Amino acid sequence: MISRVRVRGPRSVRGTELLGFAVTVSLAVAALMVAVPALRVPAHVDEVTIDNPHQWPASIEVTGQDRDGWVGVGTVGSESEHRFLEVVDQGGVWIFRFSYAGKAVELHVSAARLERNDWQVPVPDEFAEALRTAGVPAPPP
């Protein structure tokens, strides 16, 4: 029995396939245009040093003047200093929140003042006063 094999040449691109390809590419470009700005790294300050002369450790968060969300910075131990790297820039006014055992104190500082102080921030005395007033015992050394 003899069978016939039919050999076809290269397939031509049809109009609908070309249209489908163009739509796919357009959607991919649109998705990239939306995703790329979201992937951008926010502006940051190289380092911020927190000095805590008090008996209690402090958890530190920061936000800007608009208070559009708090960014965790970290924790500084009692009677110690800690340098935090790559802190998200909060703009012209920085609001630091120092907290421990459910008590918190805020400190408002202008970016200009932070620059003059070489980005060194003391935990305010009001932090220790709030903890003392609330009867929060200092943790063991």
What confidence score (pLDDT) does residue 81 get?
A: 98
Q: Could you tell me the residue ranges of all domains in the chain?
A: 12-41, 44-133
Quick one: which H or E segment has residue 10? Answer: none
Tens-level pLDDT at each residue, the chain (141 residues): 666 766 666 665 566 776 777 777 777 777 677 766 667 778 999 999 999 999 999 999 999 999 999 999 999 999 999 999 999 999 999 999 999 999 999 999 999 999 999 999 999 999 999 999 999 999 987
Q: Hey, CA dihedral for 48, 52, 57, 58, is it positive or negative?
A: negative
In the chain, the DSSP E strands lie at 44-52, 58-64, 71-76, 80-88, 93-100, 103-110, 120-122
Pick the CATH number of 44-133 from 1.10.357, 1.10.1740, 2.60.40, 1.20.5: 2.60.40
The span from the CA of 5 to the CA of 17, in Å, is: 27
